[in-house]
Structures are given as C-alpha cells and as structure tokens.
Amino acid sequence: MKEYEFRGACWIITTKCNMNCPICLRYLGRDSVDINRKKTIVDRLSFYGFKAVSFSGGEPFLDNDLLQIVRYAKEKGLYVGISKRTPINNRYFGTSELSP
C-alpha cells in the first residue's frame, strides 16, 4: 500500500466578506471559532505532516485572529498563504508576519 504525504491545506477561516457577488457559494452557517480552537487546528496540521496552509474565505482579512494564527502557523514550521478576495485596504499589509 502506498503512503501519502500531506503537503498543504486550504482553510476557509471565515465566511465574512464585504462583497456581495451573485455567484458566491460561501457557506452561510457558523462563521468562526475562537483562537484556541484555531491553534488546535494548526497543531493538528503540523502533527499530521502538512507543510503549508492557505487561508481563504470569504475575506480572510476580516477575521480578527488572522494575524495571530498566521504567526502561530509559521512558528509551527508551516508555510502560509492567503487568498485575498476583495480590494480592501487592511492593516496587515506591510507587516513582517505576512512576509515570506
């Protein structure tokens, strides 16, 4: 039996969005979990051998914990990507936490 290596995960960290696109299929249920649960998810990704995580949404920059969870994921050795949806000016651009 062939063993598989997990390389990356795409995490829809929030369904919040400041756009109202008619073709959007975003989930309309529970939006988010607390920071401790998010850290547990990162811990599990690291434990199971994932190399990277890409945060998506909605608009991931509308999640209040994004910067903290990006820092935490990088501390755990994960490569981090963010799939930005909207043309918003946000407080995160230019911060070292989001640098490669």
Residue 51 exposed, middle or buried by CB count within 10 Å (0-12, 13-18, 19+) = middle
- Rounded CA gap, 1 and 67, in Å? 40
- For residue 38, give both structure tokens: 């998010």
Decide which of 81 and 25 is more confident: 81
pTM > 0.85: yes or no: no
CATH of 8-98, one of 3.20.20.70, 3.40.50.720, 3.30.56.10, 3.50.50.60: 3.20.20.70
pLDDT digits (tens, 9 = 90+) for 32-56: 689 999 999 999 999 999 999 999 8
Which residues, listed in sequence order, are joined to residue 12 by a DSSP beta bridge?
56
- Rounded CA gap, 91 and 84, in Å? 13
Res 100 pLDDT > 50 = no
- Rounded CA gap, 20 and 10, in Å? 22
